[in-house]
Structure 1
Amino acid sequence: MELRQLRCFITVADSLHFGRAAQKLDMLPASLGRQIKLLEESLGCKLLVRTTRNVALTQDGERLVVAARDILERVDQVETVFRETLRERRSIVRVGAIDSAAAGLIPQLLPHFRDAYPDVDLQLLEQKTIRLLPRLLSGRLDVALVRPPELKDPRLMFRPLFHETAVVALPASHPLAAQSVISVDDMADEPLIVPDRRSRPHSHDLTMKLFIEAGLTARVAQIAEEKQTIVNLVSAGLGLAIVPRWASRLAVGGVTFVPLTVPAGSARNKLALSAVWLRDTRDPARDGFLDVLDQQLENLAETA
């Protein structure tokens, strides 16, 4: 008799339906039936009566339901106690990060953080800014690395870090791929792939404002959301894209990344990165993460 078999049995007993029970357990009905059969064989009795229309508990099945619930409840209590004890022994810092920070900053920062705080685990969640900020407010994250919004919630503390470098992703066979740098004027008549503004307003606005500041109209050929998708579309020859420099680390063949010359202006600040956390809160693990971030900030900014 195994705990997994007992959990399967309890789920069937609660629903009296193999299909619904299997769906709840995220397994095939045939696999669920096999677990019940193994349980019956180990106990030497019939637990369920199954027909084409319904499922019912036998007398032995009704007795086992009570005992199985008690066993599983005790097991869950033991697991909870040990998890809480482990959490007390080993601190955890829950870090949220936008894709550029998750791919470019965290891998460089993590070794330094582990050296300084070997007893602190770092849990990373990669998401967009609009989804990370609510998680900070609800307490599901301790700190996040985000694009600072234009309207900042006063309940959050923002610490500016640096501005990421913008580059142009273009097909390797494109005539502009041979240039050492590319200007917005060079892309005047080129089809562009830009992020969806609803989910990535900063990256979207960077492209739009660079063209506006140059007195040009962006020729948007395709809207996409994820950086990987955008670079793949560039590889397919559907257009050019202005992306953060970290995107050049994506393993996509047939794409060249060329530095973009960005004139002084408001668009330069669109790729700003900030650390943010809940104001007026104390958390040693989070503060340790921020300390290491401050110590490594100059080196991180040089590669951004």
Structure 2
Amino acid sequence: MELQHLRCFLAVAETLHFGQAAQRMNMLPSALGRNIRLLEEALGTRLFRRSTRRVALTENGVLLREEARKLLAHADAIMLQFRQNPRRNQPLLRVGTIDSAAMGLLPGLLQLFRQQYPEVEIQLFEDKTVHLLPKLKSGRLDLVFIRPPSQLDAQFGRAFLCNEPGILALPARHPFAGRESIEIVELEGMPMILPERRSRPHSHDLTMNLFHNAGIEVTVSQLADEKQTIINLVAAGIGLAIVPAWSSRFQLPGVKFVQLNGAAQMGMPLEAVWMAGAQDEIRDNMLALLEAHPELYH
């Protein structure tokens, strides 16, 4: 039995709705259901009665709900106690980030932070938003830089940083490679590589919306999951891709990055997110540094 299984159980037990619980945990419903099944198998009992219309707790589910609340509260308190233990060799800040912010925002931010707080140990974890938010909620991260989902649980604190514009990645031998900028309408009929929407909804929707607003259709040549994979496919000549502007720092041989006119008005949002109820002076110091240095992300 893992703490993450209990957190998933508690989300369903408190909402009595798997869809709402999945949103609350910022997980796919299938992943939430898998955690519940693993917990039921570990305990050897059913925790929910499910029908097409409603979800209800079993008698054992009601009993576990109260015990899970106590156990998770105690686990969170233990993690906080050890993080703030003065006997630690160094104070610690655990930061989660999406890949784009890891390339664009974090280098400058960490340089400034280390100058002011050299005694703080910073642990970095790079992942997608859908994976970072559950880690933040479970206490495994203290601060994350993410593309915010359409609905964010009220227990999170959040600070909008910027709308990161899109930029066009294209093969170095493409006729547009020598241009300084390109109009969206010029991409009509050209093969485009798009990210999977389930894992990168903001990047996917940016391409679709830019084409829609220009009154043209997207010709999709390939779907891919990871941004590095998309850029490698561009280098191989599979197609073109609209990627976050910070992705241009990849500097992969065989790929050129060209500005897209009009893309700046439809950028991808970047936010700093944390647990609003958790007291953390180190985290707050980093947030204050962000507020004092907007040039880091503008």
Which residue of 1 is the match for residue 90 of structure 2?
90
How many Å apart are 1:165 and its aligned residue?
A: 2.3
Task: State the TM-score, normalized to the length of structure 2.
Answer: 0.69
Cα distance in structure 2, aligned partners of 1:196 and 1:241:
13
Cα distance in structure 2, aligned partners of 1:129 and 1:98:
7
Q: Whose radius of gyration is greater, 1 or 2?
A: 1
Of 276, 281, 284, which aligns to 1:287? 284
1:301 equivalent in alignment to 2:275: no
Cα distance in structure 1, aligned partners of 2:175 and 2:87:
56
How many Å apart are 1:83 and its aligned residue?
A: 10
Cα distance in structure 2, aligned partners of 1:221 and 1:117:
47
Q: CA contact under 8 A between 1:161 and 1:272: conserved in structure 2?
A: yes
Using the TM superposition, name which of 165-174 and 244-253 deviates more. Answer: 244-253
Cα distance in structure 1, aligned partners of 2:92 and 2:185:
48
Name the count of aligned residue pairs: 217
Cα distance in structure 2, aligned partners of 1:175 and 1:134:
44
Cα distance in structure 2, aligned partners of 1:154 and 1:288:
22
Q: Deviations over 1:15-65 (max 9, x none)?
A: xxxxxxxxxxxxxxxxxxxxxxxxxxxxxxxxxxxxxxxxxxxxxxxxxxx
1:176 equivalent in alignment to 2:190: no
Which of the two has greater helix per residue?
1
Q: List runs of 5+ in structure 2 lacking aligned partners.
A: 1-81
Counterparts in 2 of 1:202 and 1:254: CA distance versus 1, 3 Å: same
Cα distance in structure 1, aligned partners of 2:162 and 2:207:
19
How many Å apart are 1:190 and its aligned residue?
A: 0.5
Alignment RMSD: 1.9
Cα distance in structure 2, aligned partners of 1:240 and 1:246:
17
Q: CA contact under 8 A between 1:233 and 1:239: conserved in structure 2?
A: yes
Task: State the TM-score, normalized to the length of structure 1.
Answer: 0.68
Counterparts in 2 of 1:83 and 1:120: CA distance versus 1, 3 Å: closer
Q: CA contact under 8 A between 1:148 and 1:158: conserved in structure 2?
A: no
1:273 equivalent in alignment to 2:289: no
1:43-54 → structure 2 map (5 Å cutoff): none
1:252 equivalent in alignment to 2:247: no
Q: List runs of 5+ in structure 1 lacking aligned partners.
A: 1-81
How many Å apart are 1:88 and its aligned residue?
A: 3.3
Cα distance in structure 2, aligned partners of 1:282 and 1:85:
14
Which residue of 2 is the match for residue 232 of structure 1?
232
Q: CA contact under 8 A between 2:168 and 2:240: conserved in structure 1?
A: yes
Q: CA contact under 8 A between 1:93 and 1:285: conserved in structure 2?
A: yes
Cα distance in structure 1, aligned partners of 2:121 and 2:261:
40
Q: CA contact under 8 A between 2:83 and 2:92: conserved in structure 1?
A: no
Cα distance in structure 2, aligned partners of 1:87 and 1:170:
52
